[in-house]
């Protein structure tokens, strides 16, 4: 356990430095949580003065596009570091930001078999809510899985969510436009269902993030929960 905590702290320090070196300002805090084959980094107080100025004049979309561009250049560097640190290949890497709250997340999924169960009460009911949200945004997923990585982190995986028109847009090179649109739409739908989500989880959702893998037609939703706090 001590070794894992040291590893999480060292990894958080490196992630903070990489973000600071490339974005001009580092995050206020980075908290890493390692669970089996998944490492989650929760980032807070992350917004440069330039980004804040752009957001003040309603240019959030430009900030999103700039961050996407920078993260695409950092992807391999971060995957290489994590592979060396964890001694496992990074199979998947995702990120997302909530600009209004100046927060973000990174997810590293390693090529390693998970051994922990991760089930939790009301799991099937939450899957039903996620299925309803997905149906409103695109279609009911072919499969939904979820796992409590830690008491504070719940990861939901959706497979088979893209409809034909979305696949066609991707093939035509409009992946970035589709990503920006889906971020807004699905986050809005999740916010609309937040009361019932918190009720089923029995916990307040402090933050949540969404990422997509268009190539494999899958999506991840990460809920950051407040421990020992019942939802209203």
Side-chain-side CA neighbours of 113 within 13 Å: the count stands at: 1
List pLDDT tens digits, range 160-210: 999 999 999 999 999 999 999 999 999 999 999 999 999 999 999 999 999
Quick check: 116 pLDDT over 80?
no
Contacts of 44 (CB under 8 A, 6+ apart): 27, 28, 29, 30, 31, 102, 103
Using only C-alpha atoms, the chain has a radius of gyration, in whole angstroms, of 17
DSSP 162: -
- Whole-number mean pLDDT of the chain? 91
Quick check: 102 pLDDT over 90?
yes
- Expressed in angstroms, the distance from the first to the final Cα of the chain is 34
Contacts of 102 (CB under 8 A, 6+ apart): 44, 45, 46, 47
Task: For residues 95 and 179, give the distance between their C-alpha atoms in angstroms, rounded to a whole number.
Answer: 12
∠ CA(90), CA(92), CA(96), 5° rounding?
120
Confidence of residue 147 (pLDDT cuts 50, 70, 90): very high
Phi-psi region of 102 (alpha: psi -120 to 50; beta: other; left: phi over 0): left
Quick check: 232 pLDDT over 80?
no
The pLDDT assigned to 2 comes to 56
Domains of the chain: 2-110 (3.30.980), 123-226 (3.30.980)
């Amino acid at each position: 356990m001590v070794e894992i905590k040291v590893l999480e702290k060292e990894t958080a320090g490196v992630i903070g430095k990489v973000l600071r070196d490339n974005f001009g300002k580092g995050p206020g805090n980075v908290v890493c949580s390692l669970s089996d084959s998944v490492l989650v980094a929760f980032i807070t107080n992350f917004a440069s003065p330039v980004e804040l100025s752009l957001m003040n004049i309603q240019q959030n979309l430009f900030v999103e596009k700039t961050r996407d561009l920078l993260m695409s250049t950092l992807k391999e560097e971060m995957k290489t570091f994590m592979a060396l640190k964890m001694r496992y290949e990074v199979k998947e890497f995702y990120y997302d930001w909530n600009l209004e709250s100046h927060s973000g997340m990174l997810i590293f999924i390693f090529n390693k078999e998970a051994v922990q169960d991760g089930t939790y009460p009301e799991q099937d009911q939450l899957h039903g809510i996620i299925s309803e949200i997905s149906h409103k945004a695109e279609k009911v997923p072919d499969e939904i899985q979820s796992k409590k990585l830690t008491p504070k982190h719940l990861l939901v995986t959706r497979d088979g969510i893209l409809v034909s028109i979305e696949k066609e847009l991707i093939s035509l090179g409009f992946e970035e436009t589709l990503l920006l649109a889906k971020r807004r739409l699905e986050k809005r739908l999740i916010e609309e269902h937040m009361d019932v989500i918190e009720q089923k989880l029995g916990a307040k959702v402090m933050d949540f993030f969404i990422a997509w893998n268009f190539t494999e037609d899958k999506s991840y939703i990460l809920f950051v929960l407040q421990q020992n706090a019942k939802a209203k």
